[in-house]
Chain A
Amino acid sequence: MSELLKVPTMAEFMAQGKQPEVLFWVGCAGSFDDRAKKITKAFVKLLNKSNVEFAVLGTEESCTGDPAKRAGNEFLFQMQAVTNIEVMNAYEVKKIVTACPHCFNTIKNEYPELGGKYEVMHHTQFLKTLLDEGRLTIEGGQFKGKRITFHDPCYLGRANNVYEAPRDLIRKLEAELIEMKNCRRNGLCCGAGGAQMFKEPEKGNKDVNVERTEQALDVKPQIIAAGCPFCNTMMTDGVKAKEKESDVAVMDIAELIANAQDL
């Protein structure tokens, strides 16, 4: 990596008596998972490029509790939630952006009742706003004319009715956006949600991610675009299972935009 990423923390802002424009909630995958860390960095590059004053919680961030809640452990979820809310309220956080639809859904919908009321955006929505405000320009670059299909993350799409922001961004790349048989509100899950990411699937005749990858491969894309670190992993594994990794790449929207401008 050539240039250094600027990643200030909330604590640093506080020390200077300042408030950032937005808190970037990195999430567990974005912090620790090797593949997802690349997405995190791509997004930070875009934030830096657009001169967005953002901050992260860094070591003060903790799991939102989403996988615990979906697994049925409401205690653990609420412990996590209350702890995170205390931290964020102490920093007087108003606005949050995250690249993980699970964090997005949990903080946006389930935290308010527990005392955490923030404006929460998915990174595709945030990038779309930057674009609309003229703070970010998107060029097609290497993706001009490429066949790209978008896999709707359940927790972004059906769960929160966000379907267009990621698609608008892909179109801006002057790419050919192609839709799978199941898309938008009919999108098929990648198989990771509801804490499935952390366990072996039950007995069946196929893995969900393979089924979804087959749907994607049916439309012959060069790139499968994702908007969730877990979907990304599942689809990447699916492409590998179908031995298509030399023909089809799985990339996050933030990576597409950052790569298009050689960031």
Chain B
Amino acid sequence: MNYIPNILFAIALIAGIGYFAKNVKKLIRNIKLGHDVDVSDNKSQRWKNMAMIALGQSKMVRRPIAGFLHVIVYVGFVIINIEVLEIIIDGLFGTHRVFSSIGSLYGVLIGSFEILAALVFISVVIFWLRRNVIKLQRFWKAEMTSWPKNDGNFILYFEMVLMTLFLVMNATDISFQEMNSGNIISQYIAPIFSGLSEGTIHIIERAAWWMHILGVLVFLNYLYFSKHLHILLAFPNTYYGKTRPKGQFDNLEAVTKEVKMMMDPNVDPFAAPPEGAENAVPAKFGASDVQDLSWVSLLNAYTCTECGRCTSECPANQTGKKLSPRKIMMDTRDRLEEVGKNIDANKGEFKPDGKQLLDDYITREELWACTSCNACVEACPVSIDPLSIILDMRRYLVMEQSAAPTELNNMMTNIENNGAPWPYNQMDRLNWKNE
């Protein structure tokens, strides 16, 4: 018996999964660069969100066409992966279609895989047409050039090729075709090869088999570099997504402490701070770089599918402003990757590189254009919250740099001096009653 294929297969499998695991570790490390937030509340609501939004795709189908196609691709991909299990066993132990021993159920199983594979193929072609021929506006915004644009198409090509290989592998499997059960789609592909010798057909079958599984492994490793990472991260992301009312922004705890101290007449402002107190006060308020964001925001960034539903609903973007919530997420991920690479290159320590998320990626003009309307949050099919990043960065601009637009500074001075955003006297607050 020749064990070389088994050994080659095992090596490919270990290399494929090993490299992926290495990148997952990096991913988790990068996400943990964000500051901690308490997400231990509302557990049942969180599980429900994950079940409904990630597993149940409830928000995807709000746009019926894209939603329907996406459900097909999603269900197809999940279910066809059962077949990958068989391929792995066959590959490692040199068996052939090891599950076929379960009898007629096998035919039903493979038959449904074939139907799904065909449907996935068709859906993916339609997706490609929407992107490249119909040119849906949201796929052609300013941030969707170069890599993001190619990435979107590469994924579609990958899926087309994998589905084709799966069907060709079945079509050229002579014993499987002879079984004539489960070859619902492949029986129509088989005649294409009928003129070839049995040996050639066998070689094609083997080639398709190998390319399919190697393709799956390559695709797995492609995820980390792609927006396709959402197929995994959508689950944790919908779990950790915001459960409070959308209008509720967090109250900065560090500020609460200082405000309480300022308002408390018993506190001596000149007293020496207690031991270790300086560690309790954060180095800065708000965010100018990715490390200042919460880890949930960083998870958000890796999860973003770049679908642009947020941007297409954004009032600022709709009226031609530079702000695009999708770009906020993409910039955050790009910068986070850059910081991660910096850490890798410097033996686990981040070495300041003279860059930051603010200005080098996200401009002030974008940040100040936001109306905090939550349309982006509502639109996102995977519970991403671009608004919280925008707010954290505004906080940095205002509290660390006093760099708000002049009119906003006037508004805030008014609030400070007379308790209203306009220059009216607080003592006149009830004048309307007699006017």
Contact = CB atoms under 8 A, between A and B. Distances in A.
Interface in B386-435: 391, 393-399, 404-405, 407-408, 410-412, 415-416, 419-422, 424, 426-433, 435
B419 A62 contact: yes
B285 interface: yes
B118 interface: no
B389 to A, nearest CB: 12
Nearest to A161: B245
A28 B420 contact: yes
B258 interface: yes
Contacts of A199: 368, 405, 407-408, 411
Contacts of B408: 71, 195, 198-199
A235 to B, nearest CB: 13
Nearest to A105: B247
Given A37-B432, A204-B319, A75 B371 contact: no
Nearest to A196: B371
B259 A198 contact: no
Given A82-B260, A189-B371, A159 B245 contact: yes
B397 A72 contact: yes
Contacts, number: 219
Contacts of B399: 72-75
Contact of B320 (A58, A198, A205): A205
Nearest to A65: B415
A159 B246 contact: yes
B322 interface: yes
B40 interface: no
Interface in A46-77: 56, 58-59, 61-63, 65, 67-76
Contact of A158 (B246, B259, B260): B246
A78 B259 contact: yes
A208 B432 contact: no
Interface residues of B, number: 68
Interface string B276-293: 000000000110000000
A250 to B, nearest CB: 18
Contact of B370 (A28, A80, A188, A194): A194
B378 A185 contact: yes
Given A70-B391, A74-B395, A201-B321, A109 B316 contact: no
B429 A26 contact: yes
A201 B415 contact: no
Contacts of B421: 28, 63, 67, 197-198
B77 to A, nearest CB: 29
A74 B250 CA distance: 10
Contacts of B395: 72-74
B282 to A, nearest CB: 12
B430 A7 contact: yes
Interface in A190-228: 191-208, 210-212
Contacts of B407: 198-200
B112 interface: no
Given A32-B424, A185-B378, A202-B368, A69 B249 contact: yes
A201 B378 CA distance: 23
Contacts of B313: 186
Contacts of A207: 319
A259 interface: no
A192 to B, nearest CB: 7
A14 interface: no
B245 A204 contact: no
B411 A195 contact: yes
Interface string A63-99: 1010111111111101110110010000000000000
B315 A71 contact: no
A160 B256 contact: no
A98 B315 CA distance: 26
Interface in A145-185: 154-155, 158-161, 185
A158 B373 CA distance: 8
B248 interface: yes
B256 A76 contact: no
B231 interface: no
Contacts of B39: none
Contact of B316 (A28, A61, A108, A208): A208
A252 to B, nearest CB: 14
Nearest to B392: A72
B53 to A, nearest CB: 14
Contact of A186 (B258, B322, B378, B430): B378
Contacts of B422: 28, 32-33
| A-B complex: 6 closest residue pairs judged by Cβ atoms | A159-B247, A194-B372, A72-B394, A205-B320, A62-B419, A204-B320
23 contacts: A41-B432, A63-B419, A69-B249, A70-B394, A71-B398, A71-B404, A73-B399, A74-B251, A75-B259, A76-B416, A109-B248, A110-B248, A154-B375, A185-B378, A189-B315, A193-B373, A194-B371, A198-B408, A199-B407, A201-B321, A207-B319, A208-B316, A211-B319
Interface of B: 244-249, 251-252, 255-256, 258-260, 262-263, 285-286, 313, 315-316, 318-323, 365, 368-375, 377-378, 391, 393-399, 404-405, 407-408, 410-412, 415-416, 419-422, 424, 426-433, 435
